[in-house]
Amino acid sequence: MEKASNILTINRQDFECLEQIGKGGSSRVYKARAVNGKRDYAIKVVTFDQFDEGAIASFKGEIEILKKLRDQERVVKLIDHSLKDGSLMLVMECGDIDLAHVLANRSNLPFDPSFTRYHAVEMIKCVKAVHDAGIVHSDLKPANFLFVKGTLKLIDFGISNSLSDHTVNIYRECQIGTPNYMAPETLIEVNNTLKGDGLNGTWKVGKPADIWSCGCIIYQMVYGKPPYANYTGNKRILAITNPKVEIQYPRVTTDGTRVNGLVIDTIQRCLKRNPSLRSNADQLLETDFLKPKVVTHKFINDLVRNAVKYGSTHPNISEHKLDILVEDVWKKVNEYS
């Protein structure tokens, strides 16, 4: 966009473009302000000149997705849009900082379980919102999670679509997500499509693929990079799709920080190679790392004392009775949580 022409008119509303805040192969995103207004917006401008009808249809699909998700708190809101003259313009609420920048800003800091827990919970709540609405995002990465006035929200639904049923979603071959965060089944289907009849192929991928991406992002929060970041180019794709290349989960990071075993368990629930074995968003939010059990010193004190007293008066306690007592303790722990 020329500096001398920094005004965009969308449905008779003029916007002054203040700065470019993002770009992709097909689009540019500008921070803009309505002329004679005080509110800032993010305006995504997509040009169609170099795209086929399938790509144009996918951009139109993004409008429909955003309309469908308009009432979702965890999705950046679509304010207005215009589709004409070979271009698509989307006016959306403007965010403050994306998760990619947040992670980059602390890339040299040691693993912090509180930081990881908070951001993982916020991220999975975003994914749960779109999954509950019957949408698979398909390109989850840190840059597509945006803080808007303190709330983490999802952006960029350019290669998303509504689920045709509860398990699968279909994408065109020309639309590919980010390999660092892509699930094995997605990359396998892409590879098979590319070997087939070129740009006319499609592949299927469902909600578990988004869960895999979440696991990769949480892994990055813990270890500073996604699980297959040490591989480059095609070797990365081959590693992700090869069951023999196992993900490593060091209990100590390179800077000597010990990693909480509960966060490893949460990541592993996301990074199962079999999509049907991965936890869903609801299940992840209930894991012991993301929803830790909280007890006090007094609780432990009372528990130990009562256990010792009970054991001294019931030396022949049965396994069944022990199970009942354990469940009773867990009920009390949950009350503290």
List, for residues 246-293, the tens digit of each pLDDT value. 999 999 998 899 999 999 999 999 999 999 999 999 999 999 999 988
Tokens of 279: 């936890």
Distance CA 186, CA 200 (A): 17
Q: Structure pTM?
A: 0.82
Query: At 161, phi and psi to the nearest 5?
Result: -160, 160
Residues of the chain with pLDDT under 50: 1-4, 164-175, 194, 196-201
Residue that is written with structure tokens 């009920």 in the block: 331
**∠ Cα 158 193 176 (to 5°):** 25
Q: What is the dihedral of CA 126, 132, 136, 140, to 10 degrees?
A: 10
* Selection from 52, 44, 48 nearest residue 15 by Cα: 44
Confidence (pLDDT) at 17: 93
What is the torsional sign of CA 264, 270, 273, 276?
positive
CATH number for the domain whose boundaries are 7-93? 3.30.200.20
Strands (E), 167-314: 169-172, 202-205
Q: Where are the domains of the chain?
A: 7-93, 97-285, 297-336
Question: Taking all residues of the chain, what is their mean pLDDT, rounded to a whole number?
Answer: 85
Residues 6+ apart with CB under 8 A from 218: 116, 120, 123, 263, 266, 267, 270
Query: At 11, phi and psi to the nearest 5?
Result: 50, 50
Q: Of the residues 49, 71, 112, 139, which is catalytic? A: 139
Question: Which segments are annotated as binding site for ATP?
Answer: 44
Tokens of 213: 């991406």
Burial class (CB in 10 A: 0-12, 13-18, 19+), 62: buried
CATH class of 97-285: mainly alpha
- Cβ(165)–Cβ(172) below 8 Å: no
Name the pairing type of β-strands 161-162 and 202-205: unpaired
Distances (CA, A) of 5 to 8, 18, 45, 325: 8, 11, 14, 73
- Cβ(115)–Cβ(106) below 8 Å: yes
How many residues make up the chain in this entry? 337
Residue 236 is given by DSSP the state H
Angle between helices 261-270 and 113-132 (to 10 degrees): 30
Residue that is written with structure tokens 């995103």 in the block: 29
Helices and strands, counts by H and E, the chain: 10, 13
Does the annotation count 302 as an active-site position?
no
Are 7-93 and 97-285 equal in CATH topology? no
Name the pairing type of β-strands 161-162 and 135-136: antiparallel
Distance CA 184, CA 311 (A): 51
Enumerate the H helices of 179-246 as residue ranges: 184-195, 207-223, 233-241
